[in-house]
Structure 1
Amino acid sequence: MATLHVRNVPDKLYKRIHKLAEAENRSVTAEVIRLLSQGVQAREARKGVADVINRIRRRAQKVELPRGWTDSAELIREDRNR
């Protein structure tokens, strides 16, 4: 298992982490590991969502409407303007 040393942690942040750890009956180290894990998972999830949105946008740019069809966004705008 790897060891991670963090320097220059602001006192206020350390106190907040310490309070969280106490509330969950964990050590500060265990709480920091839990917080880091949650942060990494959240960032990965956001990246995954961003990747999906980008794939959808690329596909949407490739789609061509058949002749005579109107883009649904245009129809919705027209309906709102009534």
Structure 2
Amino acid sequence: MLIHQFQFDDVRFSSEAQEHRAVAILTTEDQTLCLMASARLDPTVARDELAHEFAADALRQVRRMPEYRRQADEVQIAEGAAMEFAKAS
């Protein structure tokens, strides 16, 4: 699986859990995966750092899925893959 884009939607900070949460949308050439990602970072963390933590959590989850578990090297990120936050409507 070659991931071309990460998009994060419905980003929220839970003061109770002290973590950020978002829907992580991973796009490949032929499929889209949606996962709940979390990041235990300061509430005022920079968006770039938050995006990298959400992406890392999403990748950890994908690599634990049965279809990818034994092929961890098959889950890859394309060079220059975009990491974006969804625009609020």
Q: Which has the higher strand share?
A: 2
Taking structure 2 as the reference length, the TM-score comes to 0.30
The higher-RCO structure (CA 8 Å, 6+ apart) is 2
Greater helix share, structure number: 1
Give the TM-score normalised by structure 1: 0.32
Greater Rg over alpha carbons, structure: 1
